[in-house]
Structure 1
Amino acid sequence: MFVRFALSAGLLATVAGAALAQMQPAPQPAPRAPQAAPAPGGMLLPNTQALFDGYVRDGKMPGVVGAFGIGDMPPLFVTSGRIAQEATAPAAGPDTLWRVYSMTKPVTGFAAMLLVEDGKLRLDQPISDFIPGFKNIRVLTDPANSLASRPAARPITVRHLVTHTAGLGYNIITKGPLLKEYERLGIVPGQVSAQVEAQAKLVRPKSLQEFASRVATLPLIADPGTKWSYSIGLDVMGAVIEKASGMSFEQFVQRRVFTPLGMQSSYWTVPRGETGRFATNYLYAGANRIPVDPGATSVWLQPPSFPYGGAGLVMSARDYDRFLHMLANRGTLGGVRVAKAETVATMMSNLLPAGVTFGGIGGMTGGTQGSALGYGAGGSVYLADAPGGFSKGTYGWGGAAGTVAFVDPVRRLRGTLMVNYMPADRFPVRTELTAALAKDAARLHP
C-alpha cells in the first residue's frame, strides 16, 4: 500500500516513557459489548467487514473505519469497534475524527497545484522567489561527521518540495550533526501528545514563515533534484503557498479545498465541542497498548505552532473520501469544479526530476516497497499495473497512526482506512486490507 509519516525510534521511546509513567498498570483491551449488525457497506464488502471485526475482536485496535467508492457512487462505509478502548466509548463511524498525519501531504500537494493552475506558481520555479533565504543554499559534504558544506548545484523548486527531492531532511530520517541542528532549531513540524508538545513548543518556530526561514539556514543532504528522501518539503511548501496566495496557509486550504468540497470535519485544531467523536491515539510499547493522546485531552485541542502541511490534519473518513472522490473525478464533486482536470492529472502523475527514482520506503517510516513506483505532488504513483488490482496511475499515501488513502483514476476507485495507533506497521493492515478488498471485488464481479 502506501507510505506514511512516522516517528523516530527515540521519539517513540520518549512518548512511551511519558505515557507509561502515568499508567498503573498498563492498559489491556477492555471488554466490548456485542457488535451491532453490519452497516450496508459491511454487507456488500463482507471480507473487509470480517477483517475489521477481527482486528477489534483480537484487541489489535479499539476501532476502525473504511470508506470505499467507485465512480460517482456514494462511499461504502465499513466500521467496527469504538473510538477508544473503554467499553463506554462511542462506536467508530464515518464522522469519527482521526489524526491522519502524513495523509495531510496530498492535501498540501493539491493546494500547491491549485496555485500552479492559477498561474501564481510554476512547478520548476525556485522557491527563493518567495522565501529569499533559500537563494544561497548549501549541501553537506560529510553528513555523518560535520556540517561542512559546499554551494548547491541548483536552486530548490516547487517540484522538489512536493516530491521530496529538495535535499531537505526530516527528524524521522536525518542523522548525525544535521539532526542535532534540526532539533536545536525546532525543525519538528508535528505533534504527538500534550506531554511531548510542551517541550517541542519551547524551541519550535511560531509561524510558517519563521519555520521556512530557519530551514533555509541549514545545509541540504543532497543537491536539489538528485535524490528522493522523505522530508519536510510539504511543510516548507505551506510557507510558499502563503506567499504565493497572499493569505495564510490554513485560510487557503479552507477556501479552496475544504469549503468547496463540503469537508466540514477537517481541522488543524479540533474544536472542544467535537471531542465526543475524536478517537484516542495509541502507542504500542511491547505488548502494552498505551493511550498516548486521548481525544478528550488531545494536543490537537490547542492551536499548533503553525499549520503543519506535512502532518497536521485531523479528519473524518467521510471528509477524506470527499477529497479522494474529487481526485477520482478529475477535479469536480457534486457539480462543483475545484480544479481543472489537467491539474489533477498532473498532481497524480510522476513528477520526479529526470534521473530520480522512488523505490519505496519501509520500516517505521512507511511500507511502500517494490519497483515501478513514481511520485506525484504529495503521494506515490504506480508506474504500472500492480498486484491487488491497482491500475497504473494509482495515487496515494498514508499516515503515522496507521491511516491509508488511495485513488485509482483508471477504475475510478478510491479508498480510505482510518485507525489510530503507533507504530503504523505494528500490524500488516494495509496488506490484509488489499487482499480483503480483492476478494470482495471478485465476489461482486465474478
Structure 2
Amino acid sequence: MNQTTPMTHHQQIARRVLMLPATLTIALALSACAPDQAGSDQVKDINVNVAAAADEKYRTLAPNAGGLKPATRAEIDQEVADYMAENNMMGCAIGITRDHQIAYLQGYGKADKATNRAFTVATPSAIGSISKTLTALGVMALAEDGELFLDQPILQQMDLLPSQMPVGWGNPTVRQVLANVGGFENVMHWHVPTFSDEAGINAFYQIIDSPGLQPRLVYESYRHEAANWSIAKLNKPNYSNVGFTLLGALIDQRTKKPHFPASMRGYERYVWHRVGRGHIASANPTLITAALGTHFRNQDIKNLAHGYHPDGSLLDLNGWGWEGPSGGWVMTIGDLSRLILILQSDAVIPKTKIDTEMRQNFGAYPTGINAKAGLGLELALDGKWFGKGGGIRGYVADVQIWPRANTAATYTWGIAHMCNQGTSERGLSKRLRDLLISLEDGTGFGNTPVEPGALETTNDLATTYEPLIRRMAAQYLANAASPEQAWLLAKRDLSRDPTGALIARHLEAGDVDAALALLPRWQGAKTSAAAVEAQRLLNEAEARRREQATISTVH
C-alpha cells in the first residue's frame, strides 16, 4: 500500500500495536525510572530488569505470535556467527522487526572478555550517532508541542543573553542544523581557557554535579570557537557532531522552563520521557533502558557491554557527557529495535511528519557516509531504506527500515544491530537484509505477525482495563518509598488469589499476552467475591429491617 494513501487498515494495525496490553502498565508504571544527573546511582537497574523480562520472549517467539520459525532463526544465527568470525568481533545483538512488531531478538558472543559475560538481549551497549536520531525526535517533539520552531534561527530560540552569543558563527535554522546543512563542523573545537575536559568543566561549574550531562552548560566553552562553523558549508550536507551538540543544548534550555514537569527538565530526562516514553505506563514502544553513557557511569549501567579495539584491547566509554546529543546514548537491543517501531508510528510525533520531514532528502554526503541527509536520519542513495548508523570507542550500531512500498516486499522490515567491537556500521545489516529477502517466500516466517482477531482482543482488553491498572499504579506509588517497593506491594496483593498470583508470574517473566488473557477471570473473581459480600450485607440489612418491623408491631 502506498504510504501517502489515507490509512485505514494501516492505522488500525498501528493503533493496536501501539496499545500495550494493560497488564504491562503495572510493571512499567511501578518500575521504570528516568536517569539522574547526580549521585552514585544515576541509571537504575530496574529499567534493564523490566526490559530483560519483557524481551526474553522474542528470542523464541512463535510464528503465530509474530515471530520467526526456528529454522529461520537458526539461519540468522549462523549468518551472524559467520560475520563475527570473519571480522573478529567480540559480541553483538540483533533485532528484526516486521511491520509494527519485533519478530526476533538475539545476543551473541561476549559483552566482557575478562569475565566471559555473554552479550544478551539484556545487554546495554553504545549506539554512537544513532543518538542523533533521538535528539532529532526530541527537537521534533518540542516543535510539535509548540515549544520551538523548525524554520526559525536556532540561536534566537535558546534565550541567550548578548554576552552568551557565539563568536564567529552564522545563525542557521533548527531544520538546517537537524539536516546537517547548518554550516557546523564535525569535530568539536573547545575553548581551552574555559574548559575542554571533565576536570575543566567540573572546575567551571563547581556546585553542579555532572555538568557534562547538561548540554546547555557544555555550550559555554565551544561557543567561543569560530572554527566550529563555516559559511562555506552552509546549505551543504556536512556530517556534524557540533550541530547536534548544539541541538542538545537547545532541548536542554527549552525544557528547563517552569511549565515543564520537574521530572522532564533537561536534555537527558526530556528525551527519556518524551521520546523514550519510559514514564507512560500504557505506552508501546518504550525505550526505558536508554541513558547517556559516560566513563563515570560504566559501573552504574547494569550489564553494560565493554567496548573493544579491533586488536582486542579494551576501549570502554571515556566521555564526560558532552557527547550525549550527538553520540552518547546506550540502550539494549530491544530498545534499539523499538526505536525502529517509533519511526514507523505516531508514538512520538505524527508518522506523516517522519515520512515528509525527517525523511526529506537534503542531498548526499560528499564523503565518508554512503547516504543522503535527512533530519537526524540517513537515507539510502537508491531510496529503498532509511535509518541511522553509529560508532564510538569500538562500539558500532545500526538501524535500517526497508518500507515495503520502496522494495515491493511483503512486509516492512526493520533491522537493528549493536556490537562492542568493529569498524563497519552497516556490514551486518546488509547481510541480514539479503538473508531476509532470500527467505521471504513464506517458508521462513510463518503467518502474518499477529492475527487480526487477536489484535482486536488485545486492544479491547487494554481499553477496558487500562483505567483500573492506572488507578492501582497510582495507589501503590503513593504508598511506597520507591518504584521497586511499589511493585512488591502490588505483587503481594495480586498474589492473594490464584489468578492474581499467576498474572504476577507472567508479568515478571515478560509474558504480557498471557497475563492479559487472565485479567477478565481475575476481575471476574473479584467482582463475584464483591457480589457475594454485597448480597450478605443486604441480607443482614433486610433481617434487621424485619426485626425492627416486628418489634414495632408488638409495641
TM band (smaller chain)? 0.5 to 0.7
Task: Tell me the residue number matched to 2:243.
Answer: 233
Quick check: 1:221 aligned with 2:244?
no
Task: Tell me the residue number matched to 1:408.
Answer: 402
Q: Provide the rounded CA distance (Å) in 1 between the counterparts of 2:93 and 2:178.
A: 28
What letter is aligned with 1:282?
Answer: Y
Task: Tell me the residue number matched to 1:308.
Answer: 324
Deviation digits for residues 401-438 of structure 1, max 9, x if unmatched?
Answer: 2211122344532111110125x24xxx6235413431
Task: Tell me the residue number matched to 1:33.
Answer: none
On the 8 A contact 1:160/1:166 being kept in 2, the answer is yes
1:120 partner SS: coil
Q: Provide the rounded CA distance (Å) in 2 between the counterparts of 1:436 and 1:136.
A: 45
Shift of 1:212: 2.2
2:125 partner SS: strand
On the 8 A contact 2:183/2:232 being kept in 1, the answer is yes
Q: Provide the rounded CA distance (Å) in 1 between the counterparts of 2:99 and 2:358.
A: 17
What letter is aligned with 1:416?
Answer: A
Shift of 1:59: 7.2
On the 8 A contact 2:135/2:325 being kept in 1, the answer is yes
Equivalent positions of 1:133-282 (< 5 A) are 138=168, 152=170, 155-171=171-187, 179=189, 181=190, 186=195, 206=212, 207-219=214-226, 220-222=229-231, 225-231=234-240, 232-245=242-255, 246=257, 247-258=265-276, 259=278, 260=280, 261-269=285-293, 270=297, 272=299, 274-275=301-302, 277-282=303-308
Structure 2 unmatched ranges of 5 or more: 1-58, 62-67, 206-210, 258-264, 406-410, 443-555
Shift of 1:50: 1.7
Deviation digits for residues 338-376 of structure 1, max 9, x if unmatched?
Answer: 322233224532263xxxx323542xxxxx32xxx4322
Q: Provide the rounded CA distance (Å) in 2 between the counterparts of 1:278 and 1:225.
A: 38
Shift of 1:234: 1.1
Shift of 1:83: 1.2
Structure 1 unmatched ranges of 5 or more: 1-37, 140-151, 189-196, 333-337, 363-367
On the 8 A contact 2:83/2:428 being kept in 1, the answer is no
Among candidates 348, 355, 370, match of residue 345 of structure 1: 355
Shift of 1:326: 1.5
2:379 partner SS: strand
On the 8 A contact 2:152/2:174 being kept in 1, the answer is yes
Deviation digits for residues 384-407 of structure 1, max 9, x if unmatched?
Answer: 44xxxx34xx23232232211122
Shift of 1:291: 1.2
Task: Tell me the residue number matched to 1:193.
Answer: none
1:60 partner SS: coil
* Change in CA separation of 1:202 and 1:314 when aligned onto 2, cut-off 3 Å: farther
On the 8 A contact 2:126/2:396 being kept in 1, the answer is no
On the 8 A contact 2:361/2:379 being kept in 1, the answer is no
On the 8 A contact 2:94/2:105 being kept in 1, the answer is yes
Shift of 1:163: 1.6
What letter is aligned with 1:84?
Answer: D
Matched pairs, number: 340
Among candidates 358, 361, 366, match of residue 364 of structure 2: 358
Deviation digits for residues 95-148 of structure 1, max 9, x if unmatched?
Answer: 211011211110000000001111222211111223336867636xxxxxxxxx
What letter is aligned with 1:290?
Answer: S
Equivalent positions of 1:411-422 (< 5 A) are 411-421=411-421
What letter is aligned with 1:326?
Answer: I
Quick check: 1:323 aligned with 2:353?
no
* Change in CA separation of 1:203 and 1:414 when aligned onto 2, cut-off 3 Å: farther
1:94 partner SS: coil
2:105 partner SS: strand
Among candidates 370, 376, 379, match of residue 377 of structure 2: 379
Task: Tell me the residue number matched to 1:283.
Answer: 309
1:339 partner SS: coil
Among candidates 58, 66, 75, match of residue 94 of structure 2: 66
Q: Provide the rounded CA distance (Å) in 1 between the counterparts of 2:73 and 2:378.
A: 26
1:399 partner SS: strand
What letter is aligned with 1:117?
Answer: E
Equivalent positions of 1:98-109 (< 5 A) are 98-109=125-136
Q: Provide the rounded CA distance (Å) in 1 between the counterparts of 2:98 and 2:106.
A: 15
More helix by share: 2
Q: Provide the rounded CA distance (Å) in 2 between the counterparts of 1:75 and 1:165.
A: 36
On the 8 A contact 1:83/1:91 being kept in 2, the answer is yes
On the 8 A contact 1:239/1:249 being kept in 2, the answer is yes
Q: Provide the rounded CA distance (Å) in 2 between the counterparts of 1:136 and 1:325.
A: 38
Shift of 1:320: 1.1
What letter is aligned with 1:252?
Answer: Y
Tell me the percent identity.
18
Task: Tell me the residue number matched to 2:472.
Answer: none
What letter is aligned with 1:280?
Answer: H
Q: Provide the rounded CA distance (Å) in 2 between the counterparts of 1:439 and 1:421.
A: 23
More strand by share: 1
Deviation digits for residues 299-335 of structure 1, max 9, x if unmatched?
Answer: 57xxx4457201111111001111211212x223xxx
* Change in CA separation of 1:321 and 1:125 when aligned onto 2, cut-off 3 Å: same
What letter is aligned with 1:99?
Answer: A
On the 8 A contact 1:100/1:313 being kept in 2, the answer is yes
Task: Tell me the residue number matched to 2:150.
Answer: 123
Q: Provide the rounded CA distance (Å) in 1 between the counterparts of 2:306 and 2:143.
A: 37
What letter is aligned with 1:113?
Answer: M
On the 8 A contact 2:125/2:331 being kept in 1, the answer is yes
1:325 partner SS: helix
On the 8 A contact 2:101/2:341 being kept in 1, the answer is no
* Change in CA separation of 1:199 and 1:434 when aligned onto 2, cut-off 3 Å: farther
- Structure showing greater radius of gyration is 2
On the 8 A contact 1:47/1:437 being kept in 2, the answer is no
On the 8 A contact 1:46/1:440 being kept in 2, the answer is no
Q: Provide the rounded CA distance (Å) in 2 between the counterparts of 1:405 and 1:432.
A: 11
TM-score (norm 1): 0.67
Task: Tell me the residue number matched to 1:440.
Answer: 436
Q: Provide the rounded CA distance (Å) in 2 between the counterparts of 1:213 and 1:308.
A: 16
Q: Which moved more, 1:162-171 or 1:94-103?
A: 162-171
What letter is aligned with 2:313?
Answer: I
2:416 partner SS: strand
